Amino acid sequence: MTRMSKDEYAASLNRMNRRVFVMGELVRNPAEHPLIRPSFNACAMTYELAEQREHADLMLATSNLTGEKVNRFTHLHQSTSDLVAKVKMQRLLGQMTGCCFQRCVGMDAFNAVDSVTYEMDRVLGTEYHARFRRYLQHVQERDLVVDGAMTDAKGNRRLRPSKQADPDMFVHIIERRSDGIVVRGAKLHQTGALNSHEILVMPTQALTEGDRDYAVSFAIPADAPGVTMICGRQPSDTRKQEGGSLDIGNRQFGGHEAVIILENVFVPWERVFMAGELAYSGLLVERFAGYHRQSYGGCKVGVGDVLIGAVQSLAEFQGTETASHIRDKIVEMVHLNETLYACGLACSAEGKATASGTYLIDPLLANVCKLNVTRFPFEIARLAQDIAGGLLVTLPSEKDFANPDTGPLLAKYLRGAAEYSTLDRCRMLRLVENLTLGPGAAAYLTESLHGAGSPQAQRIMLGRLADLEAKKSLARRLAGMDEGPATA
């Protein structure tokens, strides 16, 4: 059983032979690339905190597969306490990094695939669950980062996978062999792909007859032949290449997403967890989405804590912290942020064991959590910009501060309250800019909207899960409708 240190994690990625493109160039070791290094640092924090005694309860868990202590990101939740600890761990990591630390998609995929393969095997007599558990033990013993990959390219949204003009718009099996399957397609928006050892692929939607080859789930090493990763851009990303420390906002950490392309990739049967079982594709999507909708009630809250801290500091630097409307706005930000946390904890505390023994969140409350996440970070960001003021988007470059002609003038005229330095004020402005307009906003805002499914997906689930008949009968009873006609 090996748990890796940050350095060992870096070395393990470096040993891989992945095909990765960043800004049009093939990059041999992405973790060393200035655009990717911050996201490596963020993912590496999941290893660093696991080594610290004070965080052991949150970061480590006892594996139900081996009885060993493993990183919680590789763990199958065995109780509601595990589900609660997961959310608390994610808040902690959001606080420590101020960004997406990427490793949750793998954890959420493990837990979803575990329970679905168990239920599938029971009904269909297949053998996926034992296979999956052997694979997960391999992951736990090596302390790997696994990218849970769900979102297909999807092409024309009106057409089912097999009816697309290009059959590769959804990942599918193109060949079944005695020793495994060959797959082709692409997965989009893949969080942390460049920092991952493995990719765990799942279908993107419920499927019907005719789309059997699209009902496929499997795991591959990130450097398997035929895998290409192309890193996505983020707002102001090239500031990371400017070599400074101020304009970047979040000095050490960031996230990234990538397109993962699978060109005729061979997967041995031992790593295949679904191959044609149509009826279970929707269930797998629903379980994964449910866990990831819970996840946002932790990670986004931790980032919200950083943002609230940044604007409270800015208010003090600017001398506005005692103004009643500023205090009120800060309180509103806290209220919104803690509401998200309350939802993350609630769907965890109300979780239940599935047939495999792995615990699942309460799906109704997890969807409420995520639907709030599609709105509240935007309002928190709006309030943060309100408090920060227009300098947030008019602040000169750090090169102007370094220039002997302009630096002293800027230091003089951009000073706020005398007891704080201009530099500290600028640092905090850049952090707020990063989180609400820059690379941090990719995860804190747009991903809050669309990650783990866009808001309409949560509305559909709420409509389906709300027991309106039960609510109607409550109302009928109190209204006296079930007691026959009124006599008065």
Question: Per the residue annotation, which of 99, 100, 347, 369 is the catalytic one?
Answer: 100
Contact predicate 131/272, CB 8 Å:
yes
Q: Show the tokens assigned to 76.
A: 């199958």
Is residue 271 within 8 A of residue 200, CB to CB? The reply is no
Q: Which is nearer to ligand SF4, 129 or 187 (CB)?
A: 187
Q: Which stretch binds Fe ion (CB under 5 A): 55-63, 407-415, 420-428, 449-457?
A: 449-457
Give the count of residues interacting with ligand SF4 (CB under 6 A). 12
DSSP string, 319-346: T-TTSHHHHHHHHHHHHHHHHHHHHHHH
Q: Is 281 in the site for ligand SF4 (CB under 6 A)?
A: no
Residues 127-186 that bind Fe ion (CB under 5 A): none
Given ligand SF4, Fe ion, none, residue 104, with its beta carbon under 5 to 8 Å by kind, binds ligand SF4
Determine if 368 is a binding residue for ligand SF4 (CB under 6 A): no
Q: Does residue 299 carry a catalytic annotation?
A: yes
Residue among 204, 225, 378, 405 at smallest CA distance from 300: 378
Among 105, 336, 426, 428, binds ligand SF4 (CB under 6 A): 105
Q: Please list, in sequence order, all residues whose beta carbon lies within 8 angstroms of the beta carbon of residue 484, skipping any fewer than 6 positions away.
A: none
184 vs 287, beta carbon nearer Fe ion: 287
- By beta-carbon proximity to Fe ion, the closer residue of 100 and 346 is 100
- Check binding of 451 to Fe ion (CB under 5 A): yes
DSSP annotation of 50: G
Structure tokens at 461: 């689930």
Residue 134 beta carbon to ligand SF4: minimum distance, rounded to whole angstroms: 25
Residue 288 binds to ligand SF4 (criterion: CB under 6 A) = no
Q: Does 299 bind ligand SF4 (CB under 6 A)?
A: yes
Query: Which of 45, 104, 150, 265: binder of ligand SF4 (CB under 6 A)?
Result: 104
Residue range at the interface with ligand SF4 (CB under 6 A); choices 120-128, 150-158, 292-300, 469-477: 292-300
Stretch that binds ligand SF4, among 99-107, 175-183, 238-246, 275-283 (CB under 6 A): 99-107
**410 belongs to the binding site for ligand SF4 (CB under 6 A):** no
Contacting residue, 20, 31, 84, 100, with ligand SF4 by CB under 6 A = 100
Q: Rounded to the nearest 10 degrees, what angle do helices 6-14 and 37-48 cross at?
A: 130
β-partners of residue 231 are: 258
Q: Six-digit token pair at 409?
A: 């003038």
* Known catalytic membership, residue 347: no
Q: What share of the chain is helix, strand, coil (3-state, %, to 5)?
A: 55, 15, 30
How many angstroms separate the Cα of 258 from the Cα of each of 42, 86, 228, 255, 443?
16, 25, 10, 10, 13
Quote the least distance from Cβ 247 to ligand SF4, whole Å. Answer: 24
Which residues are paired to 268 by β-bridges? Answer: 180
User: What token pair was written down for 56?
Assistant: 């052991």
Q: What's the maximum distance between 2 C-alpha atoms anywhere in the chain?
A: 92
Between residues 201 and 395, which has the closer beta carbon with respect to Fe ion? 201
With binding defined as CB under 6 A, does residue 102 bind ligand SF4? Answer: yes
Residue span binding ligand SF4 (CB under 6 A) among the ranges 60-68, 134-142, 237-245, 291-299 = 291-299
Q: Is 101 in the site for ligand SF4 (CB under 6 A)?
A: yes
Nearest CA to 40 out of 17, 6, 89, 74 is that of: 6
Helix segments in 350-467, DSSP class H: 363-373, 376-388, 398-402, 407-413, 422-436, 439-441, 447-450, 455-465
Please list the active-site residues: 100, 104, 191, 257, 292, 296, 299, 447
Residue ranges binding ligand SF4 (CB under 6 A): 100-102, 104-105, 191, 295-296, 299, 443, 447, 451
